[in-house]
Chain A
Amino acid sequence: MTDGIWVIGGGVIGSLFAAHLSRVAEVTLLCRRAEHAAAVSENGIRVSGRADFVGRPRASTDPTGLADAGFAIVATKANDVETAAAQLEGRLGDGSVMTVQNGLGAEEVVRDHGSWPQLSAVTFMSGTKLADDHVEYVLDTPTWLAPYEDAPLELAERTASLIVESGLKAEAMPDLEPARWSKLIFNATVNSVAALTGLPHDHHFAELEQPTDLGHLVRGLMDEGKQIAAAAGIALREDPWEMNVLATQRGSRHYPSMLEDVEARRPTEVDFITGALVREAERRSVEAPLMTAVYRLVKAREASYL
């Protein structure tokens, strides 16, 4: 991987990748807003929390330079993958592409725009964007990578090594689905419940003492998710409920992105996360009344302000 890396999308995940990778590679962050690119060009990206340094990626709003990129990381929100993929089309030459969205389906969207070797990734790292040029690195959990379609495993392994070298955690694996579905079920549940209740992902999500405690709903949603995964022939890598219990015991309050989106009255990723599971359930004739209910409620909540 001698050529430059382009990171598309300067949210939390894109900023964390761009800042870290800039320490071991030529990195360009492709931003939507000119002020964002200007701030990063001028000040770099400060990372605080789990790490403490200033990364110095290039930053631009102009995708023409992609021609020289050897590798592109699409780190936008799921809703913006189509726009990002359109920017890659006809520009990214011999490079390869990694998608790292929540939910399902980003790979297909990118594939429709080119025949590059692709990697599928899910990331468990999290953070908070404090400014255009400052990101707080909160959870240093790993990014998992796997080849998409016929890309070589070796590409995933090389990419994982580079990410690890840059200071983040990563692991390559031949098949992403078991990990991806674990995260999807976890995310669909935690994000939807957080968005509807206003609660950060905290101890309430694991409480089971009273019949009306939130943990019962969380577990019920995750059980439906597991049934959908089983019907799809996926053996989960981790149990979502155990992931939930572990995360709520960490002590730090995590504000899931869907909660932040609802509070800022932005469109959420619910269609790509919770909606993805509901659609899978319908396709495979699995009953998922709770997942369907929270999906509809978040959609309606969005409709109340969009």
Chain B
Amino acid sequence: MRVTVVGCGAVGSLFAANLAQLDDVEVWAFDLDREHVAAINSNGLRLSGAGEVVGEVRATTDAAELPPSDFGIVATKCMHTAAAIEATAPAFAGGAVCSVQNGVGNEEAIAERVEHVIRGTTFPAGRVVEPGHVQWDVKGDTTIGPFEPSPAPAVEVERLADACTRAGMPTQAVADARGPQWRKLIFNAATNPIGALTGLTHGRVCEDPALRRLVSKLVDEGKAVATAQGIELDADPEELIDHAARPDVAYDHKASMLQDVEARRPTEIDYLNGGIARFGREQRVPTPLNDAVTALIKGLEASWTL
């Protein structure tokens, strides 16, 4: 089978390089970074850290070069989903496309261009250290399931999960993948903007009782929006937040949104707190604090352009 990874940053590279280890999978990658693409084509896509892998991946910056694929795995930042899928959709005319991105709203954007869509949530993480080379920081599970409004057939979801699992990226196919997605969404939305607005690491956010209460209020709003949609979370975000605050886990971790803000990169706020607020409006569930932090982060982004 043929898999095309759309957006070959850290997470996309973890899927691409690992899947390329399988004899029965041909992997392509679409990315706009010319140096990264050139390095992948000359030397392969290299992972180091949690696993040492070099994958033979055919990379391109030109979507017209992509051959028809059985599967797409979209791993761009959320704000690039619509443009990336618009460019690559012809390659997926007969296939299914899976989002492994942060936040909510990506599957909806993909479904505007592609018939069969898979909802995915993934926990492995890493960072691009140089063109063609990704540091694999954290191993973790992935959960995928059909995207209800334009679902991929269950057998296809299972075929992708099986390939990823065999490739060393443990992936579970489920009927309803919204639980893990909203669990991760609520975790990220309750912690990322607080780190970004205050400059504090995850551990320091959690040890300030007043700030930790604010985190809980953000969690509660997210849970209410999930419940209104009939989504059952697969774990309690509160427990995951406290677990991550432990010194031996992620006390010193700077949330990715804080890293974005420090580097003055656009954040994924519209797909995190903004996504909770948007689904909240649809369900008529008020989300005043998620609205507030969305407005603050968007204000922060606007301040860079003054």
One of A58-66, A159-167, A175-183, A289-297 at the interface: A289-297
Q: A204-B302, A293-B289 are in contact. Are A304 and B296 (CB under 8 A)?
A: no
Q: Is A2 an interface residue (CB 8 A)?
A: no
Residues of B within 8 A of A304 (CB): 198-200, 204
Q: A296-B210, A303-B208 are in contact. Are A196 and B296 (CB under 8 A)?
A: yes
Q: Is B82 an interface residue (CB 8 A)?
A: no
CB–CB B302/A197 < 8 A: yes
Q: A297-B197, A301-B198 are in contact. Are A214 and B214 (CB under 8 A)?
A: no
Residues of A within 8 A of B292 (CB): 217, 220, 290, 293-294
Q: Is B39 an interface residue (CB 8 A)?
A: no
Q: Is A113 an interface residue (CB 8 A)?
A: no
Residues of A within 8 A of B291 (CB): 211-212, 216-217
Q: Is A7 an interface residue (CB 8 A)?
A: no
Residues of A within 8 A of B306 (CB): 199-200, 202, 253
Q: How far is the CB of B242 from chain A (nearest CB, A)?
A: 18
Q: How far is the CB of B202 from chain A (nearest CB, A)?
A: 13
CB proximity to A under 8 Å, residues B205-251:
205, 208, 210-211, 213-214, 217
Q: Is A198 an interface residue (CB 8 A)?
A: yes
Q: Is B253 an interface residue (CB 8 A)?
A: no
CB proximity to A under 8 Å, residues B276-290:
277, 281, 288-289
Residues of B within 8 A of A293 (CB): 214, 217, 289, 292-293
The interface centre, meaning the residue of A202, A211, A299, A305 with most chain B CB atoms within 10 A of its CB, is: A211
CB–CB B302/A199 < 8 A: yes
CB–CB B198/A213 < 8 A: no
A79–B300 Cα distance when bound, in Å, is: 27
Q: Is A193 an interface residue (CB 8 A)?
A: yes
Q: Is A300 an interface residue (CB 8 A)?
A: yes
CB–CB B197/A289 < 8 A: no
A300–B210 Cα distance when bound, in Å, is: 9
Q: Is B294 an interface residue (CB 8 A)?
A: yes
CB–CB B211/A199 < 8 A: no
Q: Is B93 an interface residue (CB 8 A)?
A: no
Q: A211-B291, A216-B291, A293-B292 are in contact. Are A199 and B199 (CB under 8 A)?
A: no
Partner of B299, one of A214, A290, A299, A300: A214
Interface size, A (range): 20 to 34
Q: A196-B296, A197-B303, A204-B299 are in contact. Are A300 and B289 (CB under 8 A)?
A: no
A162–B217 Cα distance when bound, in Å, is: 51
Residues of B within 8 A of A301 (CB): 197-199
Q: Is B295 an interface residue (CB 8 A)?
A: yes
CB–CB A214/B298 < 8 A: yes
Residues of B within 8 A of A202 (CB): 306
Q: How far is the CB of B220 from chain A (nearest CB, A)?
A: 11
Q: A212-B298, A296-B214 are in contact. Are A196 and B288 (CB under 8 A)?
A: no
CB proximity to B under 8 Å, residues A256-306:
289-290, 292-294, 296-297, 299-301, 303-305
CB–CB A197/B200 < 8 A: no
Q: Is B134 an interface residue (CB 8 A)?
A: no
Residues of A within 8 A of B205 (CB): 300
Residues of A within 8 A of B299 (CB): 193, 196-199, 204, 214
Q: A199-B303, A289-B289 are in contact. Are A193 and B296 (CB under 8 A)?
A: yes
**Taking CB as reference atom, which chain A residue is nearest B296?**
A196
Q: How far is the CB of A221 from chain B (nearest CB, A)?
A: 8
Q: How far is the CB of A265 from chain B (nearest CB, A)?
A: 10
Question: A214-238 CB contact bits vs B (8 Å, 1 = yes)?
Answer: 1011001000000000000000000
Q: How far is the CB of B206 from chain A (nearest CB, A)?
A: 11
A301–B198 Cα distance when bound, in Å, is: 4
A292–B291 Cα distance when bound, in Å, is: 15
CB–CB B295/A216 < 8 A: yes
A76–B105 Cα distance when bound, in Å, is: 50
A304–B258 Cα distance when bound, in Å, is: 12
Q: How far is the CB of A91 from chain B (nearest CB, A)?
A: 39
Residues of B within 8 A of A213 (CB): 295, 298
Partner of B194, one of A204, A289, A297: A297
CB–CB A198/B208 < 8 A: no
A interface residues (Cβ-Cβ under 8 A, vs B): 193, 196-200, 202, 204, 211-214, 216-217, 220, 253, 289-290, 292-294, 296-297, 299-301, 303-305
- Of the A-B pairs whose beta carbons lie under 8 Å apart in the complex, a sample of 14, sorted by A's number, is A197-B296, A197-B299, A197-B300, A197-B303, A211-B281, A212-B294, A213-B295, A216-B291, A217-B295, A289-B288, A290-B288, A296-B210, A300-B200, A303-B204
State the 9 A-B residue pairs at the shortest beta-carbon distance, nearest first.
Answer: A197-B299, A198-B303, A304-B199, A300-B198, A217-B295, A199-B303, A197-B300, A296-B210, A301-B198
